[in-house]
Copies of this chain bind each other. A is one copy, B any other.
Amino acid sequence: MDQSAAHEALRGKGRAEMREILGAEYTEARDRSTNPFNAAVRALSEEMAYATLWTRPGLDRKQRSLITLAMICALNHPHELRIHLVAALNNGCTAEEISEVFTHAVAYCGFPAAIDALRLAEQVLKEQGALPA
């Protein structure tokens, strides 16, 4: 069986999932900036993260958003945290739940990681209308 057909099948599924989670506007802007330098990582993200992981049973999208925020807080990657904060709102997480993830993080990741994540979350949730500006 043909490898590139396999990759294409997964990409199509992943792009549909990504569009539901991150929105059409995000997905289209992302497509416009895809180029040979970044195309492989983006295809992997579609095939692996969105087609293969986010669609699995066992945890629903909202639970996956909560653990994704928890992991990225621990890993200290603000740019990706921003994207997954938008995804979390789209997946049904409330402002209170998001605040609780990072408050809980104090015990396991320490204050610097928790405070950095919470400050960014406050900013993103205000931009998204999920907190009063």
Contact = CB atoms under 8 A, between A and B. Distances in A.
Interface of chain A: mostly helix, strand, loop or mixed: helix
Interface string A36-71: 111011001101110111001011000110111111
Contacts of A53: 44, 103-104, 106-107
A19 interface: no
Interface size class of chain A, counting residues whose CB lies under 8 Å from the partner chain? 35 or more
Given A10-B3, A58-B100, A73 B71 contact: yes
Interface of A: 1-3, 5-10, 12-13, 35-38, 40-41, 44-45, 47-49, 51-53, 56, 58-59, 63-64, 66-77, 79-81, 95-97, 99-116, 118-119, 121-122, 125, 131
